[in-house]
Chain A
Amino acid sequence: MVNPVVFKGVKDGIVAILNPSFSMNEILDYLEKILNERKVFFSGADLQVDPNGMSLTESDIDDLKKVFSRFGIEFSLKGTNIRISKEEITPRPDAGLQKTIIVSHTLRAGQLIRHNGNVVILGDINEGAEVNATGSVYVFGIVRGIVNAGESVISLGFMPLRMTIGNVIFDNNKSGKTYRKPRIATVENGKINVKVLGAKKSIRRR
């Protein structure tokens, strides 16, 4: 019999492997059932969820969290599955600080990258895609979507410019502005400052 979720014991805990041919609702129902039946077995276990090729969206992960937290179980998404082609990239909570990940394709509408560290994108960030990073975001392409960075955003072009750096939101009045040249955006004096990349200081007084 094929179940929506298969549990396997591994060295450092239990892995729940999702079956991509089932829908998220079936998976959640099944998990609820199993967890109810075997409360004792799972309590306090270190559980990893292996999406097994399934693309999990933000709300799917929230739903999983809800089910597990009801039974007092913490879980992490299986670390080896931080595959860039996933809908969602969720590094394990213990992933090293300020680590850099490289995304080797264009981010398309509906794709979200969230990372505790720096993110390098080899491609565009299209309209409807989003990057959240605690460090800097380097984009070897055009930014059409939304970027929330901790430190700075470097891109070959912004059209239009929408971002937050730290807690600073880019001035909305200028949000229609587009840049077609490489730029670096950083926070200076509590405002987001967009400069031409590699610009030399001018001797001209302003």
Chain B
Amino acid sequence: MGRAIVITSGKGGVGKTTVTANVGASLAKLGKKVVVADMDIGLRNLDVVMGLENRVVYNIMDIVEGRCKISQALVREKHLSNLFLLPASQMHTKEDVDIEAINEIISIIKENFDYVLLDSPAGIENGFRSAAAPATEALIVVTPDVSSVRDADRVVGLLENNGIEGISLIINRYDPNLVAKRKTLDKDDIIDVLGLDLIGVIPEDKEIIDSENRGEILSIVGKSLSVQSFDNIAKRIEGEDVPFLEIPKEKRGFLDLFRRK
């Protein structure tokens, strides 16, 4: 029996889809059978981020409406044979989703895979509910800013009401330089407010945007520090005790003083 984990944040644009794709890939690198499910019905993105948009034939609503089998809708990732995408429908809206049917599909997938990562849409409406309903655990993604933390707080409250017990925190786009200048929130302050178990800090990394636009998952093809933090998150989900990475501040040498920023 696999684990169903919803990846959510409340606020949009904090990196739910990126985290889903990369943590999914990192888990797959550990040899786990992983499905990443795009629950953003009507605004699907995960297929693009993974570079699989050309291979999508069926989607989750086709399964719900009986046009295909679950195995036909799953798209295999290009590099890893044990990582699959369950695409969202682009033709439907979030109001069309039948939560019971989604629950059933995910529970069937759970029997055959180690992990189902559910990429939730932003917001707290129907889309979020249908993404959270099949999950028993949750990863909350926040960026170090006040509005993201408050939205995350709201979402955590809703998840707790729905009986989801394992809730962990991922801080994305963390830049120690800005923290030192007091431009963004410190990670300890975020943990203090949300009172969640921190499972990973992902540094601000331009390579993530670059690889996403090329349709490659950074944690498969890349080597930067953020790859390591995704790998560490996967290991911590697996129960390994991995020390947190020290995210270095940007070093400014003498010559940098003359270099244009």
A128 at the interface (CB under 8 A from B): yes
Chain B residues positioned under 8 Å from A126 (CB to CB) = 153, 193
Could you say which of B99, B161, B195 contacts A124, with CB atoms under 8 Å apart?
Answer: B195
Q: Select from chain B the residue with minimum beta-carbon distance to A124.
A: B195
Contacts of B156 in A (CB 8 A): 108
A144, B193: Cα distance in complex, Å: 9
B160 touches A85 (CB 8 A): yes
Residues of B within 8 A of A108 (CB): 153-154, 156-157, 160
In the assembled complex, the CB of B165 is this many whole angstroms from the nearest CB of chain A, namely 12
* Chain B residues touching A, majority SS: helix
Task: State how many angstroms separate the Cβ of A32 from the closest Cβ of chain B.
Answer: 20
A128 to B158, CA, bound (A): 14
Residues of chain A contacted by B126 (CB below 8 angstroms): 23
B241 CB → nearest A CB, Å: 26
Contacts of A23 in B (CB 8 A): 126
Q: Are B158 and A127 in contact (CB under 8 A)?
A: no
Q: Is B111 an interface residue (CB 8 A)?
A: no
Nearest Cβ distance between residue A146 and chain B, in whole angstroms? 14
State whether the Cβ of B150 lies closer than 8 Å to any Cβ in chain A: yes
Q: Determine which of A21, A110, A144 lies in contact with B157 in the assembled complex, contact meaning CB atoms within 8 Å.
A: A110
B197 proximal to A (CB < 8 A): no
How far, in Å, is A48 (CB) from chain B's closest CB? Answer: 21
- Contact B161–A109 (Cβ < 8 Å): no
**A111-B126 Cα distance, complex, nearest whole Å:** 19
- 25 pairs of residues in contact across A and B, judged by CB atoms under 8 Å: A21-B100, A23-B126, A55-B158, A55-B161, A85-B161, A86-B161, A87-B161, A105-B160, A106-B195, A107-B157, A108-B154, A109-B150, A109-B153, A109-B157, A110-B154, A110-B157, A123-B195, A124-B193, A124-B195, A126-B153, A127-B150, A127-B153, A128-B150, A128-B154, A144-B193
Q: Kindly list the 6 A-B residue pairs having the minimum CB-CB distance in the complex, ordered from nearest.
A: A108-B157, A109-B154, A109-B153, A110-B154, A108-B153, A55-B161
